[in-house]
Amino acid sequence: MIAKTLSAAALAATLLATPVVSYGQSGTSTADKTAEWTSLPVFDQAGKKIGTISEARADGTGHVTDIVVDTDTGQQIIVANEQFDRGTAGVTLSMTEGQLLKGAVPIK
């Protein structure tokens, strides 16, 4: 009984001391995946550049859940993953700049 308790305590200490880095499907860490998004241009639905990504946030599997966009007008907005698509040239929002300015995207 004591041996099992000590073994469990040693395992817990090992797990707590091991640095945890989340890796996505491609084998890169979550930090690497989100860094890939930083500074990408952001376009509205009509193709007009409206800003750049200053931060990407991801879940534990490396899936980007939302992005923080520094707009060309000086605002900073948070866009949920349902509201954008990543392409080869950058990120495209699912709305126009006019809809964005009317508050269609939550500004936090």
Q: What is the pLDDT of residue 6?
A: 44
pLDDT single digits (tens) 44-82: 999 999 999 999 999 988 889 999 999 998 888 889 999
pLDDT-derived band of residue 29, with 50, 70 and 90 as boundaries?
confident
Choose among 45, 25, 35: nearest CA to 91.
45
Does 31 score more than 90 pLDDT? no
**CA–CA separation, 42 and 50 (whole Å):** 6
Task: Write down all domains in the chain, each with its CATH number in brackets.
Answer: 29-108 (3.90.50.10)
Nearest to 87 by CA among 37, 51, 26, 50: 37
Residue with tokens 């698509």: 85
In the structure, what pLDDT confidence band is assigned to residue 98 with cuts at 50, 70 and 90? confident
Is the pTM here over 0.95, yes or no?
A: no
